[in-house]
Amino acid sequence: MAAILEADDLSFSVRGSTLVRRASLALEEGATTIVVGPNGAGKSTLLKLLTGELSPLQGAVRMDGAALPQIPAWELACRRAVMVQNQRLAFPFSVYEVARLGLEGVGRAQSRARKGEIIAQALETAGVIGLAGRQYQTLSGGEQQRVQFARALCQLEAGRSVAQRQILFLDEPIASLDLCHQLSLLDAARSIAAQGAAVLVVLHDLNLAVTYADRLVVMHEGAIVAQGEPSAILDDNLLRGVFRVSLSFSRLPPAGQPFLLPQQHLTPIQPGGVVPLRAASA
Amino acid sequence: MTLAVKQTPSASAAALAVLTAGHRRKGVIAIATLVAICLLLMLLSLGAGAFAIAPGRVADILLAKLGFGSADLLGSREALVVLNIRMPRLLLGALVGAALAISGALMQGLFRNPLADPGLVGVSAGAGLAAAATIVLGDRLLSGFAMKLPFAVLPFGAFFGGLVSTLALYLIATRQGRTSVATMLLAGVALGALAGSLTGLLAFISDDRQLRDLTFWSLGSLGGASWTKLSVVAPIVLPLLFAVPLLARGLNALMLGEAEAYHLGIPVQRIKALSILLVALAVGASVAAAGVIGFVGIVVPHLIRLSIGPDHRLLLPLSAIGGAALLVGADIIARLVVVPAELPIGIVTAFVGAPFFLWLLLRRGRIAEL
């Protein structure tokens, strides 16, 4: 497997507080990477650095060898799609129009018929094709989230005619979804990875993270404290230190997949508080 | 929902095709209707006023001018009124209306808020101040050289004023790429008040003739229209109308937010800079030609969003046509209500626009969104 994106020693801070410190990771072709960590651990900031929305104060992000700032915005949009947490929309677009926004930048060259195909396919995958004519603002939070997912899928599909090696970034994509749609969205993301793209997802549900991740990245106070194959890196000690909960930690047969059941929370640490942690393992 | 998911892909795609075709048809119908209304109002406008001329007669005169019909008609007093007085006024009104409505739509897209309007947030006041300064101070400076200030200087002065206030507004209301609407409205009110007070100061030091001109700026009027004026304003406004479609995709993407638009591959900074420049140019030229006319920029785009949705590909051209129709219509009213005198057109648009704006505020359920 070859890395599509490589981040090397990224740091970022705003007004003296460090949001990301010395983070390094690689997103590989066909792999789903899941980032977990408590609130304020720097997950979203890391995602912004990886997508080019923010520039790191230190370190660099490279896509297929080219530094991110050197890639023109349009080309970058062909190579990666981003679904952010913000779901607001200023004016009352229909669901169909919101999905079509995914094509405003990268879909210029596509014919009208092809655009229609791409949008229909994306709405279908995200399970919102029945809502196509509805006004976006009248949808529930979960439905809006799926429409945003469809928009990202549109962008990815249109970009594929320009760039084959693509990345899909999803920032807490299932935060408002019911169980069925949580799984169907993550399945869709994984099938995109299966087609050769790299997928990076920020998640809170540790069990889903373990189930879907080829590679798990654990963040704490801006730093990546562990990353690797989920069952290899997760243990009681790490989870207690990072998430401040005691868990009953078991392995499910037959593959020995880790299963976590939270028992009780420990005292939450204040930002900047010091907690003993084991050293980051690359 | 579950039912929709269970549909076969082809059935859903077919339903989708019907949906988009319906939307496209709606757009075509909207354009045709608005163009028809605009043309009808234009025909009425050429006949209406203290010296009334029947629409049929107006049509005859126009045809004669184009070379179809008797040429003797062109020598009549009616032809003189239609071609030399009302025609430039009509075209100026249409251009100014289109420019103001497009400026409103651009600002609303840029600020992602339906309440942004050049008149409301002080851009027009800034342009008005610059125009007033050009009239009062320019005359003073030039009086030593026994010269009269050429009208062509005014649009540039007003443009400069509009640009400075738009930029100031944007810089004040934007922090780290996010535009606060509350700050924008408050800053706009403050900038408008500042420009208003400075304009008042200029009125204080101006002579009688200048004072009359200043009143004209502050209320807005198409009364001073002439072919000369039109020849200065048209080259500024017409290119804008053609530049605007270039912004539609970018403004659509901006509805999601600036970061999201960047992710979609939109050159966000370029779109923002171009929008601000276009607004300043359009408002500057309009204010120079017709004074400060409020509410066109807020009423027209909003009505269009209500009827065909917020897609800028349709919203921008329809705003132009709708703005032209509104101002031509308002000008007819301005000329008819106090015959043989006429009202400044700014009074008419504010009389229609202000209650509409209040209704808009009341309709928004959540006050917090402001």
- Predicted pLDDT at A271: 58
Residues 6+ apart with CB under 8 A from B306: none
Mean pLDDT for the stretch of residues A255-266 = 81
Cβ separation B265–A89 shorter than 8 A: no
| Contact list, B261 vs chain A (CB under 8 Å) | 105
Residue A244 lies in a domain: yes
Based on the fold, state whether residues A182 and A211 are members of the same structural domain: yes
- Domain annotation covers residue A76: no
pLDDT higher than 50, residue A30: yes
Is 90 exceeded by the pLDDT of residue A110? no
Alpha carbon dihedral A85, A91, A95, A96, in 10-degree steps, equals -120
| Residue A71 resides in a domain | no
C-beta atoms surrounding A44 within 10 Å: 18
State which of A110, A141, A163 marks the end of a domain: A163
Q: Which residues contact B325 (CB under 8 A, 6 or more apart)?
A: B34, B37, B38, B41, B97
User: Lowest mean pLDDT: which of A96-100, A122-126, A131-135, B336-340?
Assistant: B336-340
Contact A110, A160 (CB under 8 A): no
Report H helices in B206-267: 208-219, 227-243, 248-254, 258-263
pLDDT above 90 covers a percentage of chain A that reads: 64
Give the largest CA-CA distance in chain B.
83
Look up the domain containing A142 and give its range. Answer: 88-163
* pLDDT (0 to 100) of residue B64: 87
Put simply, whether A101 touches B (Cβ < 8 Å) is yes
In a domain, A40, yes or no: yes
pLDDT bin (cut points 50, 70, 90) of residue A149 is very high
Q: What angle do CA B330, B333, B336 make, to 5 degrees?
A: 155
pLDDT at A50 (0 to 100): 95
What CATH code is carried by the domain that includes residue B341?
1.10.3470.10
Question: What are the tens digits of pLDDT across the range A130-145?
Answer: 999 899 999 999 999 9
Put simply, the answer to whether A120 touches B1 (Cβ < 8 Å) is: no
Interface confidence, given as ipTM, is: 0.87
The first and second tokens of residue B368, run together, are 């917090």
Q: What pLDDT is stored for residue B365 in this prediction?
A: 55
Handedness of CA B204, B205, B207, B213 (dihedral sign): negative
Low-confidence spans in chain B with pLDDT less than 50 = 1-7, 366-370
- Residue B205 has a CB neighbour count (10 Å cut-off) of 10
Q: Is residue A200 part of a domain?
A: yes
Query: What CA–CA distance (Å, rounded) separates B185 from B167?
Result: 14
What's the pLDDT score for residue B149?
61
- With a CB-CB cutoff of 8 Å, which residues 13-52 of chain A face chain B? 48, 51-52
> The domain that contains A271 carries what CATH number?
3.40.50.300
Contacts of B189 by beta carbon, 8 Å cutoff, 6+ apart: B121, B122
Q: What is the rounded distance in angstroms from the CA atom of residue A270 to the CA atom of residue B161? A: 50
Whether the predicted pLDDT of A107 surpasses 90 = no
Nearest CA in chain A to B301: A91
My answer on whether A256 and A227 are in the same domain is yes
pTM of structure: 0.85
Residue A69 forms part of a structural domain: no
**In terms of CA atoms, which chain B residue is nearest residue A118?**
B13
pLDDT higher than threshold 80 for residue A238:
yes
Contact A88/B264, CB-based, under 8 Å? no
Q: Under a CB-based contact definition with an 8 Å cutoff, are residues B61 and B83 in contact?
A: yes
Mutate to test the interface with B, among A103, A104, A144, A169 (most CBs of B within 10 A): A104
pLDDT of residue B83: 87
Residues A237 and A273 in one domain: yes
Residue carrying structure tokens 């001109």:
B213
How many other CB atoms are found less than 10 A from the CB of residue B219? 16
User: How is residue A175 written in tokens?
Assistant: 């935060």
Q: Which residues from chain B sit within 8 angstroms of residue A137, using beta carbons?
A: none
Cis peptide before B340 (omega within 30 of 0): yes
Picking from A118, A144, A163, the residue at the C-terminal end of a domain is A163
In our burial notation (b when 16+ CB lie closer than 10 A, e otherwise), range B83-118 reads beebbbbbbbbbbbbbbbbbbbbbbbbbbbbbbbbb
Q: What is the pLDDT of residue A277?
A: 53
Q: Say yes or no to pLDDT of A275 above 60.
A: no
Residue A269 sits in the same domain as residue A215: yes
Test B250 with A104 for CB contact under 8 angstroms. Answer: yes
Does residue A198 register a pLDDT over 90?
Answer: yes
Residues A183, A259 within the same domain: yes
Say whether both A173 and A253 belong to one domain. Answer: yes
Which residues in chain A are contacts of B264 at CB distance < 8 A? Answer: 77, 101-102, 104-106, 155
In a domain, A77, yes or no: no
* Phi, psi (degrees; rounded to nearest 5) at A167: -130, 140
Asked whether the beta carbons of residue A90 and residue B255 sit closer than 8 angstroms, the reply is yes
Q: Any idea which residue has 């354009």 for tokens?
A: B31
Is the same domain home to A239 and A250?
yes
Is residue B147 domain-resident? yes
How many structural domains are present in chain A? 2
The total domain count for chain B is 1
Six token digits for residue B77: 């007093």
**Euclidean distance between CA atoms B370 and B368, whole angstroms:** 5
Structural domain contains residue A257 = yes
User: Could you list the residue range(s) of the whole structural domain that residue B129 is in?
Assistant: 88-369
pLDDT tens-digit series, residues A59-77: 999 999 899 999 998 899 9
Residues of B in contact with A88 (CB under 8 A): 256-257
Q: How far apart are CA A278 and CA B152, in angstroms?
A: 74
Average pLDDT over residues A214-223: 94
Domain boundary among the residues A145, A163, A181 is at A163
Nearest chain A alpha carbon to B14: A120
Q: Is residue B10 in a domain? A: no
